[in-house]
Structure 1
Amino acid sequence: MTKYREILRLSSLNLSQQNIADSCNVSKKTVNRVLKRAKELGISWPLDANETDAVLAENFFPSAKQVKTNKRMPDYDYIRKELLRNGVSKKLLWTEYMEECRANGDEPLMYSQFCYHIQQDEQKHRATMHINRKPGEQVEVDWAGDPAMIIDPDTGEIIKAYIFVGVMTYSQYAYVEAFLDMKQRSWINAHVHMYEFFGGVVRILDPDNCKTAVVHNGGWKDQQLNETYQELAEHYGTAIIPARVRTPKDKTNAEGTVGNISTWITAALRNEQFFSLNELNHAIHDKLNQFNRKLFQKKEGSRLSLFLEEEKPLLSPLPATRFELSDWKTATVQFNYHISVDRMLYSVPYEYIKKKVDVRVTDTTIEIFYNHNRIASHRRLKGRPGQYSTITEHMPEDHQKYLEWNGDRFRKWAERIGTSTYAAVNAILTSKAVEQQTYRSCMGLLKLTEKYSDELLEAACKKALSYTASPSYKSKKNILVTGSEKLLSETTDSITTQTTHGITRGADYYRR
């Protein structure tokens, strides 16, 4: 589906329609049509979260239908390969194409049309374009080919360090940093450090087609950006336009600078030994300053002077806060309307029980999304595993009343029933290190009076206490379930005896 939201966002950054088309993998005509329609409807960025691409598509073009041609088009990839073989001609391929069309009931192209479309495809593959670089507009990023080496001071093991390179396309001013891997966290942190090194943000970010930038690539027109990478672009207000696959001409500056970096930094440090990543990056920083200050051979000045004079004044200011790296996870809402993230539990509205949700995890926050809509947000818990972060509004109404209870209130309720019930509840409240963990058992015990009676519960607690000083909720419930009639009989007999004979003081009382 066309990325309507992204087109409107990039347009708000005053990017050209061609740059928007390259970033969103659509034609310039589509961008023009979307922006024109948005202007007619009075729709502009920023948009509400519920205005998804599907909603915008229905608003913009409710009656749009795709019209497909009946004629079958040639398989250009197959034709290019076959024409390289000896004796294979376009006439032969057209004849085979005609036979295949008849077999499948498709309408074929005439020979002249067949040759015309093949020629157009060949021209596309031969085409090259000179790109005028504008000051402060674009930065190209990539991993250098050859890693540096670090020696583990304890084991003597050789550890590879991978070199990130960011190059301003106009001045060729470079940023270089070493990381222990090429994973997403290193990739994102490299960009954050690069922007801080430049002291501003460019309009266009041009990465290579690595997995930390593009997670799916079925072709130039079918690129999907990594979700966290897209978040970084939105945070810094920049557009991402990945280079096309196997097209090094799209990245002449980065590719050329990577070679220079390998010569003037990595190779220049080949005879030095480093025992930590900090040592290596400190040496790289010194070499990088020399590299950026080195005078051009064919024009005046250096990378640094050209950057400071013509590019830095045009950079957008850095955001007030650093981009915070996030991880995305999938979780299922449990029956207690909580999800588990790193062995901590966070509540969501109980209506989402058993639903699969997306979770955005940062160092400080947990955000929970369902169908791209945020349904909950929590401060991230630290320390002992098994902690709960529960928002009252997420609980069903009958569960919210539990919040009104505490240990003293349970004791007072139990005391009104009888001394044995009080002793049993007090034993439950003191059975756990955290008193709140016992509230459910206390509530369950006291609510047994709704099915039985205060007298029967008191008798059950008394009987349970005769077995152990700390009877569980389950033991008292089992006494009621299996022996309620016997307890009722014993309770009735006791009451009858007291009524008939009154209160009799034994000999021991008078002996005292």
Structure 2
Amino acid sequence: MLSMDIIAEIRRRHLVSGESISAIARSLNLSRPTVRKHLHSTAAPVYERQQQPAPKLGEFQSTLEAWLTTEQHLPKAQRRTARRLYEGLQVEGYRGAYDSVQRFVKQWKTCKARPAATQAFVPLVFAPGDACQFDWSHEQVEIAGVVQTVKVAHFRLSYSRQMFVAAYPRETQEMVFDAHNRAFTFFGGVPQRLIYDNLKAVVEAILVGKERTFNRRFMAMANHYLFEPVACTPASGWEKGQVENQVGNVREWLFTPMARFASFADLNDWLATRCQELAQRKHPTDTGQCIAECFAHERAHLRAISATFDGYVEQMLRVSSTCLVRVDRNRYSVPAEWAGKVVSVRCSATEVRIVAAGQVIAEHLRRFGRDQLVCDPWHYLPVLEKKPGALRNGAPFVEWDLPASIKQVRERLLKQPRGDRAFVELLLVARDAGLEPLQVACELALECGVVSGSLVMNELRRLIAPTRPPQLSLPEQLQLRVEPLADCQRYEQLRGTHYVH
């Protein structure tokens, strides 16, 4: 294919200078048919390669096509990108370039995909600290050896493009509150507006146009942090297109291949670290800076956080006769004196608090399985006073993780007559004194070789007895000049005077 300058020279020499085709061909080392062909060419030549050669990909094309055919039936979130397919081929022995894989995947998807209608959008511009976009996504993660679908909360500052993500087992309102607390702490402040879908945790009713009835508890959080909530038009994801695009990117960057962690805490710590690392990427519009540099500028425009919002969801429940309340298919213990009464149960993302009479009467770490029993043995101590036999088979006490010395003393006492009552009396004293003095008392009793309730109680009382105050040293002005003598005859005088025979 001749370049445009050679074609122009051929035309000038023949049409202007009058040179023959043979002379031009000899001079430019071209064939006469080629010269004759380009005498009438006025447009630039267009070269289109019909097929891009990919010699190293050739033997792997069948494997790649098999993968694509299999994954086209999977949900879009579980399909591998061209980059992940390239990495898979490298494991299989492929040593070619990524571009060859990318072109093949693009051509294959173009042949399989249906033509889609093109939509037009208006580019958006945001001021520093003006807006932040929020969305949820569902990702596959292995937690403590169990593969499960987790809900990932996505935040994205619209000006700097700084992102923050956090994973949760559920997509409930208390998780939304906790995600906001984490995000604002990560950002170091609060933007003026937050843009949402019409999710139930935020919006209760969709009215005409942009009018919404927001959830009252959610508005309590918005009022606490002083940001304005904005709900998108239904089915109009482009109104928060940045975070919509982030969902796909984060899935490729962080959750492909599948992430594996021991707990949600470890996963969220890793996600926060990765958000900081990914901020070193170039800003999509201001290419002269990275996202971290733009975020440093935007942070100064965020509203400072005065206090963290207490993000719990409250419900009123009646305590059962077994001193339990049922929360989200799990049961949590309550002090025995509240059995049969109504209490307030406040659930956050990480804990369950039971409140009554204006005070927190019980706190438990929240569980997310099913049919789990979460008991605090101290809650059942008043019941043991009346029913000490429950010590042997009561669920709170069978699984009680006590120090080894206390367990040994309990096993020995339960083999003795009325030993269960003796051990309950030890627990009643330890409720105020703590388990550490009881542990020391049990160790002392085991060293003696004789274990009885009275012996352990005696050691325990001795350990918790208040120390004798030190002897006071009085100043000279308060000391007696003449100390009284101990004279028993004085009492005899009193006895002789007042005693009537």
In proportion to residue count, which structure has more helix?
1
TM-score normalised by structure 2 residue count: 0.40
TM-score normalised by structure 1 residue count: 0.39
